[in-house]
Chain A
């Protein structure tokens, strides 16, 4: 936590210097945090243990949103600043598309390569 506090202006500085949108900071954090989970999930899928992969992947997605949002909400109310939650229209569409394709893919009970291409 101390490390991240020191580093946060640095990450923001890099992102700003590159002229990238500010939201890239969030993407970097998410990518760093999810990397080990993702690798473990892919390893499990290669060993034909898709259930473990899905437990890992969906479990982290759920914990990430289901616990981060309440925690941030609490902090924002206690510390008294606004927290923006709504994503823009394009992101909404992408989110719904990803949820929709995943839901259809996992409707069959078993997956084949076409669902892999589509989800990816």
Chain B
């Protein structure tokens, strides 16, 4: 359509895309971020109640539900060029942000304050081997398959890879929660370990709010 002039009000309105104004978009953007934040906060409350290692599992599942619903709704609402790569871009970005950004800052800051930090090797190793297998299988291998040209899988390959991903992730979750729970339990530090777990009422409210925030 008409060219947007950076710097004036038209540019700001241009952010609005198709049918909403700039202010509306800004308000929606802020509310989207706050919904995400509050969803994760409520997930944290529920996680705190159930304790490790189920707590981190619930948190991970909560953000994944948000992520998947965002991606799927964006893919369905705009089936044009570009949205076919959205899932890949998001997943790749998430992995790189975690692998280099979050873990890097954790190690750097943690080791700056505490010199050496310990963790349970077996648990981290199980997570890393699963992460390596799934990420190479889903993000790298499609470039080299010949059934469908380009960086895509054919339908049958896609189903196969989807099942493999689920099996590997399911395997990791069962290791984390049942077979080798102790690999993922943090060492009890003196004193500052946890605040008192929330009451049943708080947990229930959080759970309901969590489900509600997924709907909005």
A residues sitting closer than 8 Å to B (CB atoms) are 1-10, 12-14, 17, 22-23, 25-27, 29-38, 40-42, 44-77, 79, 81-88, 91-92, 94-96, 98-99, 102-103, 105-107, 109-113, 115-117, 119-120
Contacts and interface: CB of A to CB of B under 8 A. Distances in A.
Nearest to B129: A103
B186 A52 contact: yes
Interface string B174-216: 0010000000111101001100000000000000000000111
B147 to A, nearest CB: 13
Interface of B: 4, 6, 11, 14-18, 20, 25, 28-29, 31-33, 35-37, 40-41, 44, 52-53, 56-57, 59-61, 63-64, 66-79, 82, 84-121, 123-125, 127-128, 130-132, 134-136, 138-143, 150-153, 155, 158-159, 161-163, 165-166, 168-169, 172, 176, 184-187, 189, 192-193, 214-216
Contact of B106 (A50, A60, A73): A50
A9 B16 CA distance: 8
A13 B14 contact: yes
A95 B97 CA distance: 11
Q: Sorted from nearest, which 4 A-B pairs have the closest CB atoms?
A: A86-B151, A26-B89, A120-B104, A66-B169
Interface centre among B18, B109, B215 (most CB of A within 10 A): B109
Given A1-B215, A36-B40, A45-B109, A81 B84 contact: yes
21 contacts: A1-B216, A3-B32, A3-B35, A12-B17, A13-B15, A17-B11, A33-B67, A36-B36, A45-B107, A51-B186, A54-B124, A55-B184, A57-B102, A60-B63, A66-B172, A67-B166, A69-B134, A86-B140, A109-B121, A111-B116, A116-B106
B131 A72 contact: no
Nearest to B84: A84
A54 B127 CA distance: 9
B103 A68 contact: no
Given A6-B20, A36-B41, A83-B84, 20 more contacts: A3-B31, A7-B32, A26-B86, A26-B93, A27-B90, A30-B90, A32-B33, A34-B63, A35-B37, A36-B40, A36-B44, A41-B106, A55-B56, A59-B59, A64-B91, A66-B168, A70-B162, A111-B111, A117-B108, A120-B104
